[in-house]
């Protein structure tokens, strides 16, 4: 097995272990102190997941770093606008679970936006050849994942919505914003096939599905 393949296998194995431990711990109430620790480590786990995905990116250059940085910062800034105006996603606010925040939005949301954009793009890279199929498919994947995330996010105090109900405009905004990010990513030309990113997206779906099955 080549070195790159070994690195990918190890990264996917570590990602799988992280998601398995998280899913079991957060749904098992027999040890509250352990559950609280796993929740407190959520921002670190997100950062580690992104790190493993980016470690497998085969072609680093300044343009790649710039594109990644723009997606992360833009994602976080859109959340700031959303929290303070309520006109993008609806009325919502963040809880303490996602860690340190600036302007009412956890810094982990920048990590989360980049991770989900990169991972959904990796899935569609395996399934489509047309630019627009990749863009539309990736945005659809992100909305489908968000649909699974929302009830779990409220349960774990990632964030909560006014009236404890997710407005339809949240999903519409997610689709439109994701569409823009994926179009930008595809046109930038920096994206490359990444098996670890594919695994990250699959594991995200399995993780959040486990809470409702």
- Answer left, alpha or beta for residue 22, where phi above 0 means left and psi between -120 and 50 means alpha: alpha
Structural tokens at position 71: 């997606």
pLDDT average per 10 residues of sequence, the chain (213 residues): 80 94 86 87 95 91 96 98 96 95 97 98 94 97 97 94 94 98 96 95 96 86
What is the C-alpha to C-alpha distance for residues 182 and 122, in angstroms, rounded to an integer? 11
Q: What is residue 1's predicted lDDT score, i.e. its pLDDT? A: 57
Q: What is residue 15's predicted lDDT score, i.e. its pLDDT? A: 96
Query: Can you give the length of the chain in residues?
Result: 213
Its domain, for residue 64, covers: 3-209
Which residue's entry shows tokens 């559950």?
Answer: 35
DSSP string, 129-177: -SHHHHHHHHHHHHHHHHHHHHHHHHHTTSEEEGGG---HHHHHHHHHH
- Sequence-ordered list of residues with C-beta below 8 angstroms from that of 35, at least 6 positions apart, any chain: 25, 26, 28, 29
Structural tokens at position 60: 């680093």
């Amino acid at each position: 097995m080549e070195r790159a393949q070994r690195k990918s296998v190890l990264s996917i194995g570590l990602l799988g272990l992280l998601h398995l431990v998280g899913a079991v711990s957060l749904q098992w109430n027999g040890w509250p102190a352990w559950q609280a620790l796993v929740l407190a480590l959520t921002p670190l786990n997100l950062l580690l997941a992104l790190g493993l995905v980016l470690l497998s990116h085969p072609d680093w250059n300044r343009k790649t770093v710039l594109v990644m940085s723009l997606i992360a910062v833009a994602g976080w800034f859109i959340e700031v606008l959303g929290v303070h105006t309520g006109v993008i996603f609806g009325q919502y606010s963040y809880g303490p679970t996602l860690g340190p925040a600036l302007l009412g939005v956890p810094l982990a949301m920048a990590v989360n936006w980049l991770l989900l954009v990169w991972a959904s793009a990796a899935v569609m890279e395996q399934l489509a050849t047309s630019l627009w199929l990749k863009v539309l498919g990736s945005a659809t994947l992100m909305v489908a994942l968000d649909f699974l995330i929302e009830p779990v996010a409220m349960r774990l105090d990632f964030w909560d919505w006014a009236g404890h109900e997710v407005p339809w405009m949240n999903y519409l905004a997610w689709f439109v914003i994701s569409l823009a990010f994926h179009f930008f990513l595809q046109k930038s030309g920096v994206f490359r096939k990444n098996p670890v990113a594919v695994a990250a997206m699959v594991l995200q779906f399995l993780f959040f599905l486990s809470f409702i099955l």
